[in-house]
Amino acid sequence: MDIRKFAAAAAVLTALICLDCGTCRAQDDLLKPDETFMFAERDSLQLFMDVYYPADGSEMTVDGVNKPTILYVFGGGFKAGRRDTPTARRWFRLLTDEGFTVAAIDYRLGLKDKEGMGSIKDVYDAIQVAVEDLFSATKYIIDNSVDVDIDPSSLVIAGSSAGAITVLQAEWELCNRTGTSVMLPAEFRYAGVMSFAGAIYSRSGRVHYTREPAPTLLFHGTADKIVTYRQIHFFNLAFQGSNVLARIMKGNGFNCSIYRYKDNSHEIAAAMYKTFPEQLAWLENNIIRKEKRTIDATVNDPSIEVFQVNDLKTLYSGRVKLE
């Protein structure tokens, strides 16, 4: 399977999404981190975590329960991106104004020096590196919870695009105790997962969980061909997007909600600001109040600009099934 044309298209769209929007550039009061911590050093790179604490005067509890920390992983196709883009910080301000703490982390960009997206193995390795760095950041919080002033039992991992792949993959591996998840305590669980246009890359066929995953909230455009909304099959490899993951989770009775943005493409990965009311309701009900409130909604929102991308289905051979 030749994925280089696919990668080129993905890189172009990623660049569009990662560009600072005019609104964000016009702001001169972008939220700045309260603290920055170096949580790991890998491959001669220092990895940092910015922490944004709740805004002064914000309500930090719901029914007497502290609000969770959002542990954010940025997007960029595992080739680019950073933890502190203006678009992300605009979203962080919404969260901190509502009394949430946000921790935004670095991770190694496994495809940074690859032509296009490299080989299938390169893609898998890049995901694994990002997941390892997310687990390292998590372990740092566990080991230094007093210094960072974050409760590790109340971490909601959230990611956009490549970051969404990372958080979904991390929770899947943690539930199955595979890969680098073994660096975390056996009893550790994330409090929740928020994915903005994500998927899971399995090398053993259909995704399955040996223990129930954390409550999961999925946002995805139904026409997304960059990070597939449906799934890609290639022999025993499966890249399963939000539509399939929601089906698996709901079929097993897991706590999963999905917002399907009709005819939207990969721009949903950068629409965290637009979907904030849905996020807030889910955080308060499913995470803080621990209700098993599931939503499966198809949304038509003309205020979210649709990026025009080529139909990437034509780039795959007949051995690849794109649902």
Residue 9: give the domain boundaries. 4-322
- Looking up residue 149, the CATH number of its domain turns out to be 3.40.50.1820
Total number of domains in the chain: 1
- Relative to beta strand 216-221, strand 256-261 is parallel
Closest residue by Cα to residue 107 from 139, 72, 142: 72
Q: Quick one: pLDDT band at residue 308, thresholds 50, 70, 90?
A: low
Helix or strand holding residue 231 (H, E): strand 231-234
What is the pLDDT confidence band of residue 69, given thresholds at 50, 70 and 90? very high
Residue 306 has a pLDDT of 81
Q: Tell me which H or E stretch contains 196.
A: strand 192-196
CB-based contacts of 33, cutoff 8 Å, min separation 6: 50, 51, 52, 84, 104
pLDDT > 70 fraction of the chain, expressed in percent and rounded: 85
Per the confidence metrics, is the pTM higher than 0.75? Answer: yes
Q: How far apart are CA 116 and CA 11, in angstroms?
A: 8
pLDDT over threshold 90, residue 320: no
